[in-house]
């Protein structure tokens, strides 16, 4: 049985500097898909001069942030002393835990002649028991991202978070969660089975695709029902198309989100702001780790 579409929608503009950004999640229909409570799509863009793209130093608490870079070079600093550059195909993952400052800058990839930037940022909500833990950080280059070809030369699947068949991401799982990047070749299809009660959504970043018989366009976010069933993805274009598929088990604890903080109560949000203004998240040393 194929899963039914609950709704589809497009994002709202939320640009930073020279980057064209669409806020996909949260939206007017839902605040979360499994543990995922936020998704910004940094749209594909070709740059002819240096890019103004710094997010500026800002705090987080109660979540893990994940930046997946399709094209570009992402530089990360945080107040726990972590520093790294991740290049096209790589991932920046940071567990904010009880509080951390970070800053990211996306530029064209200095290792290639590609002047494009294209990326996604997700926020992954942490269970209450993990919100008070120490911050953690992973810089994952493209060759470390699990990937395999689909049957019948249909394309490929990358496992950004979670697992698929014999592939397993190195990003920690605090609940059942998955984030896949699927590329389908022209004239091909791919079917995936989703268990009952698992929340799942798809996003089409650059081309249209047919999902369970319905055609959706570029930039559409599609959420499916929670019944067990299949999602059949079909590409009838003359070029490859990409599908971002993500979700997980429902987050059953209360969610209170304000600004960069996602907690379980309003009192915890107040504590997060108080600790931030008191300087308890530390400071970023922008020369840390640079060579």
- For residue 137, list its beta bridge partners: 94
Q: Are 177 and 124 in contact (CB under 8 A)?
A: yes
The total of structural domains in the chain comes to 1
The CATH number of residue 39's host domain is 2.60.120.10
The answer to whether residue 285 is domain-embedded is no
pLDDT at residue 14 greater than cutoff 90: yes
Residue 200 reports pLDDT greater than 70: yes
* 22: in domain: yes
Closest to 236 (Cα-Cα) out of 203, 193, 195, 207:
207
pLDDT band at residue 109 under the 50/70/90 scheme: very high
The parent domain of residue 169 ranges over: 5-277
pLDDT (mean) for 85-99 = 97
pLDDT at 154 (0 to 100): 98
Count other Cβ atoms within 10 Å, centred on residue 57: 15
pTM of the model: 0.95
Tell me whether residue 284 is in a domain.
no
Residue-wise pLDDT tens digits, 218-251: 999 999 999 999 999 999 999 999 999 999 999 9
On whether residue 287 sits in a domain, the answer given is no
Q: Is residue 282 part of a domain?
A: no
Predicted pLDDT of residue 49: 82
Confirm whether 218 is domain-assigned: yes
pLDDT band at 291 (very low <50, low <70, confident <90, very high): very low
């Amino acid at each position: 049985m194929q899963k039914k579409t609950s709704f589809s929608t497009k994002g709202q503009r939320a640009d930073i500097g020279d980057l064209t950004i669409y806020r996909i999640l949260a939206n007017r229909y839902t605040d979360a898909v499994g543990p995922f409570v936020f998704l910004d799509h940094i749209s594909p863009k070709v740059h002819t001069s240096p890019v103004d793209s710094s997010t500026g130093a800002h705090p987080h608490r109660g979540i893990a942030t994940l930046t997946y870079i399709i094209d570009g070079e992402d530089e990360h600093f945080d107040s726990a002393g972590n520093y790294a550059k991740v290049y096209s195909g790589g991932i920046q993952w940071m567990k904010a835990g009880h509080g951390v400052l970070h800053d990211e800058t996306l530029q064209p990839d200095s290792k290639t002649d590609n002047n494009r930037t294209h990326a996604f940022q997700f926020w992954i909500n942490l269970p209450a028991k993990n919100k008070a833990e120490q911050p953690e950080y992973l810089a994952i280059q493209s060759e470390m991202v699990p990937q395999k070809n689909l049957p019948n030369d249909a394309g490929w699947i990358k496992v950004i978070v979670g697992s698929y068949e014999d592939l397993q991401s190195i990003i920690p799982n605090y609940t059942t969660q998955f984030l896949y990047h699927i590329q389908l070749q022209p004239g091909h299809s791919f079917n995936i089975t989703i268990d009952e009660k698992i929340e799942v959504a798809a996003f089409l970043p650059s081309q249209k695709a047919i999902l369970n018989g319905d055609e959706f366009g570029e930039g559409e976010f599609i959420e499916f029902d929670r019944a067990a069933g299949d999602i059949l993805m079909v590409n009838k274009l003359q070029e490859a198309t990409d599908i971002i598929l993500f979700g997980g088990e429902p987050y059953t604890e209360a969610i209170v989100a304000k600004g960069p903080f996602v907690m379980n109560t309003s009192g915890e949000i107040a504590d997060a702001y108080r600790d931030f203004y008191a300087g308890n998240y530390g400071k970023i040393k922008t020369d840390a780790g640079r060579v």
